Every structure is written in C-alpha cells, then in structure tokens.
Amino acid sequence: MFSMKQLVWAICAGFVCLSLVCSKDAVFSQEPTNDVWSIDWRSDGSLIAIGRNNGTVDILNGATGTLRTTLEASYATVRIVAWNPSGSLLAIADYDGAIILWDSDTQQYIAVMHDSDLAIYALAWSPDGSQLASVNESDTRYPAPYTVKIWDVTTRQVIKIFDFERDIFSIEWSPNGNQLAISGDKNDVLILNTTSWEIEMTLEGHTERVSSLAWSPDGTKLVTATDSDINDTIKVWDINTGQVIAHFPGGTVHSLKWSPDGNLLAISEYRQIRIIDMQLSDVAWVIPISSTVWGIAWSPDSSQLAYGGVSGEVNIANLEPEPTPFYDDFESGTSNWTHPAGWLRINTLYHSPTWAMQAVRTVTTPYSLTLTLNTPLDLTGFTSPELTYWSLHRLYYNTEYGRVQISLDDGATWTTVQQMTNTRNVAWTRQRINLSAYAGQTVRLRFVFEAAVCLPDHCFDSASPPFWRIDDVRLADAAPMVALPLTEDFEGDLARWVTEGTWATTTETVHSGLRSAADSPGSNYAAKTLTALTLASPAYTTSGSTGWTTTESAVEDVTGRLRRSQLFPPSILLSTP
C-alpha cells in the first residue's frame, strides 16, 4: 500500500506554480490550447519533457519542478515527446509528420526527420538508441490507413516501411530490442520481430480495439488495454507463450506505463489513475482526476508519477511506500515458516506464479497441521494493520477448519482471528483480517488446518478430499478509509471494488446513466459459487454508528461487503444512519 502526497507542478501562462498538497483540490487555470498530450522523464531523472497541443514543449527540472525552457517546436500539435535511452536526445513528433531531435546538452535542435506531411501518432526508441519507430497516417489511407516507419537516427532516413490494414494507436520496442508490439483498431496485438521484420506472434483475447500497451522492464511480459469496452479486462501476457497470465478490471484506458522497477503499473482511465502493485496483483493507489489524462511518465527510481492532459496541468504524485513488515509468495521456498509434512509447497495450483502452500486431509482421524511464521512481526508505527492472503479451500461438514491465529506471548497462547468451516470456493479469493487491535505490538502468526473425527455418515470423499491452499500472505497497514457519504454510479468501472465471482458493469438494466453493476451480466451465476462485490477500502464510520444504510440495496457490514445474487442498481449512496 502507498501513502501519497501530491506535488502539483502547474505550468501556466509562462510561469511555474509549485505547491505541496495532500489532495487533488488544487485548481490551476489553463488555456484550452495548452492541453498536455505527452510526458516523458529523462533516464537520469534530471529533466521532464511535456508536449502540448499548441506546438510547444516545456522542459522542467526533474528535481525542483522549475521551468528550464520552453521550446517552440512546431506549428502543429506535439503528439509525442520521447527521450532516447541515454537521455542526450529528445524526439518531438507532431501532427505535421515531423520528428524533431533536440540535444539536451547544447539545448539546440540538431535534426528534423520528415518524409510526409501526415500526422504522427506514436513514437518509440530502440533500446540502443540507434533507431526510431513511428506510426504515421498513410498517404493513401486505403487499404492501409497507417504505416509504421523505422528510422535510422544517424542517417535520418527511413530504412523500413510497413503498411497495416488497420488504424494503429500504440507501438513499443521491447527492452531487448528484438520485438515491436503494435496495437490499433483491432482486438489483437501484433508482435513484429526486428531481425526478420516479420510478424512472429499475434496476441488475441480482447473484445474491442487495443488502445494502449506497455512492456515490463525485463521484457518477459506485455500489458494491453482497450479504450472502448468497460467490461474488457486489462491483460498481462507472457510474451514467450503468448498466453494471458493475469488480468485486471478494464475501463476506458487512455495510457499505460510500467514503472522502471517493474513493481507498479499506472493506468490512466476515466476519472482516475489506478496504480497496480504487480507483485500483489492488487490496487495500490487510486488518484482521482477531473479531466482526461493523456500523458503519464514514471521517474527513473519509480517513486513519482507525472501526469497531464486536457486541463493543461502537470501533476507529480509522490508515492511513498509504507513499511510492509511481511510479505511471502512462497516463490523462494518455505524458510520463513515452520510446518509439518502435511503442509506442502505446490506448483500446480497457485494464485501468483508459481508456488503456493497446501494442506490436504488424508485420514479420518483427528489431527492439526500448523504453518507458523518463524519471525515475530513488529507492528510499531502501524495504525490499522491488516493481514491479507489468498485462499482456495474445500472444508466439509463442520469437521474441517481453517484458522488464522495471532499470539502476543511468543506462541505460548494463540487467539483465532479468522475461522472457516463448512465452506468451499472454486476460485482464489482474497481474505482480509483487521488486526487494528494489535497495532503497536509484536505478534506471532500461524495458519492451522484442523480436522475433527470423521463420522461414518459425514465423511469426506477421498476423490475430493478437504484441503486449504494459501498464497501471497501480506501484513501491512490497511487501505485508507473512504469518507461517507460515498456515491457510486458505476459509470466508470469497478476499480474501487474487489470482485469475487463474475461481478462486472453492464448496460442491460440501469437506474441512472448508462451502466449498473451485476453479479453475472448476460447470464446466470454458477451454482454453489460465491459472488461478492467488496469496497476496496474500508468506509469511515462515525462514533456510535451501527452499520450502513443505502438507497437501493442492502449492505452486510461496515467493510462495504455486498453478497447479492441480483442486479445491483447504480447511484448507490452509502452513509451512516
């Protein structure tokens, strides 16, 4: 989880406004012609380039936010600004078909690469800085409306031209330089081999056009998203197999950027920027925005995110990681734990690749299997500690139990903080346990899989024995509270919610606007399955409050957890009685 202070650098009317704020309440006036189309942070962190709708490029000091210079780069909209890998050259692409190279050391233009007056929509440097790939409108428009051009930066000449029978929105060079990923108005992504210059792979799985894509820093994964279908997911692909290995709720995505350290993914979409913790496959932070954001860029150390768009503002979000006393995904073994042989590390069923822990009942006699964390956890400095883990389980007849326990006396006695029995799920679900009562203390943690005597008429089927699998165990401060009243109309997406089962937004039946949320859009939910919609952050309740009231739907408790098997109307207002 991340705490965030907002550093807002607003470049307006020729001067710089620098202020430190803790919210997005700051408003700076901008001329409509100063819309931000593109932002890029130089590799050494010293400069930030900002391309604007009026043909100018602002160069900011990356450390202080002061305006170094403004380049009168073009008479047309500056569509893309991109530093070369070494940071010595800035490529500026405009709607007049020109690529302008600016030397940041001499602060001089050194070249203009231009072979067409038609707009450039995307630009990407090769990892060695010797080539540029551009996406241009085609001279003929039919049957190939866009072309991809490969430029030699030394000779300033086009060395390859590819015509595609599609519009093209995004192009990204892989970190090893061997591939170009290309997406556009089709529901697939083309992977172009840069040695043979042939299409070596087509990634298929989206339901609508793919508007944005980004490589992981190690080049093993590619993330893709659409801008036209709120029910299509954001997909993470294993580039070696061409298979989807993870996905997140989709939306109207305008831009994607993977952080340089590979841990975070920034997603610019309708009314917000979502930041995903890629290690946990969970939302780390949501930055509210009031207007469309086109340009986003990470600082080289992954601690800050710059973003700007239609408002003309340039905002820098400082993402300060809060201390995480413990996280284990079992990828490095079980040295953190003490456990009997009944707890096994498995690589056949897991939440995050490629290992998890499992206990299975194999006998009818009673027994107890404990998985105990070796190191005590110091919760000093935490105000709302929360234990989260992912669970897959089958527990029968009130004879099998999954318990999570905490000890304050170094294991002499244990307190159960969660117990599951007579329950099962068919998909991994995230478990959340509030440990606020233990804030400021040192605790021990263990998981207990316990079985009582198996009665003859209530014994388990050996073909489907009881089991408990756990993965991605994490202890940290809980997500920030959401203040009441909370209004949700579901016109955006489900980024503020944790979904279990098939919950998604839909246009089938609405109360207001264009969308609502349903547990199984277009079909019925499967029998004996959990379907739940959970508010990602706990809601704020005032002293003396006993629960929630809503305008349209019942809510079980103050965590905002919904368990319903019918359409959930939009425009829900959650408030204390």
Provide the residue ranges of all domains of the chain, joining segments of one domain with +: 1-22+33-114+290-321, 115-253, 326-477, 480-577
Q: What pLDDT sits at residue 78?
A: 92
Distance (Å, whole) CA 213 – CA 205: 14
Average pLDDT of 255-263? 94
Rounded mean pLDDT of the chain? 80
Distance (Å, whole) CA 83 – CA 61: 14
Residue pair 392/405 in contact by the 8 Å Cβ criterion: no
Cβ count within 10 A of residue 193: 13
Is 115-253 a CATH 2.130.10.10 domain? yes
More confident residue, 537 or 149: 149
**Span 116-166, pLDDT tens digits:** 778 899 999 999 999 999 998 876 655 557 889 999 999 999 999 988 778
Q: What pLDDT sits at residue 442?
A: 94
Cβ count within 10 A of residue 522: 10
Cβ count within 10 A of residue 266: 25
Q: What pLDDT sits at residue 139?
A: 66
**Span 199-211, pLDDT tens digits:** 999 999 888 889 8
Question: Which residues contact residue 20 at a Cβ distance below 8 angstroms, ignoring those fewer than 6 apart?
Answer: 5, 6, 7, 8
Distance (Å, whole) CA 510 – CA 465: 43
Cβ count within 10 A of residue 114: 14
Question: Which residues contact residue 170 at a Cβ distance below 8 angstroms, ignoring those fewer than 6 apart?
Answer: 122, 181, 182, 183, 184, 210, 211, 212, 213
Residue pair 335/305 in contact by the 8 Å Cβ criterion: no
Q: Whose CA is closest to 263, among 2, 560, 569, 517?
A: 2
CA angle 268, 274, 278 (to 5 degrees): 115
Q: What is the dihedral of CA 556, 558, 560, 562, to 10 degrees?
A: -10
Q: Is the pLDDT of residue 499 over 80?
A: no
Fold of domain 1-22+33-114+290-321: Methylamine Dehydrogenase; Chain H (2.130.10)
Q: What are phi and psi of 33, to 5 degrees?
A: -75, -5
Q: Is the pLDDT of residue 565 over 50?
A: no
Give the 3-state secondary structure of 101-158: EEECCCCEEEEEEECCCCCEEEEEECCCCCEEEEEEECCCCCCCCEEEEEEECCCCEE
pTM for this predicted structure: 0.64
More confident residue, 557 or 86: 86
Q: What pLDDT sits at residue 324?
A: 63
Average pLDDT of 276-286? 81
CA-to-CA separations, 180 to 170, 176, 239, 352, 410, in angstroms, rounded? 10, 10, 12, 27, 54
At the top level of CATH, the class of 326-477 is mainly beta
Q: What pLDDT sits at residue 538?
A: 53
Q: What pLDDT sits at residue 430?
A: 86
Distance (Å, whole) CA 240 – CA 403: 39
DSSP 49-88: EEEETTSEEEEEETTT--EEEEEE--SS-EEEEEE-TTSS
Distance separating the N- and C-terminal Cα atoms of the chain: 30
Q: Is the pLDDT of residue 236 over 90?
A: yes
Per-residue confidence band for 376, with pLDDT thresholds at 50, 70 and 90: very high
Please check whether the two domains, 1-22+33-114+290-321 and 326-477, share a CATH topology.
no
Cβ count within 10 A of residue 188: 16
CB environment 397-436: b (16+ within 10 A), e (fewer): eebbbbbbbbbeeeeeebeebbebbeebbeebbbbbeebe
**Span 47-103, pLDDT tens digits:** 999 999 999 999 998 988 788 899 998 888 899 999 999 999 999 999 888 999 999
Structure tokens at 104: 């940041």
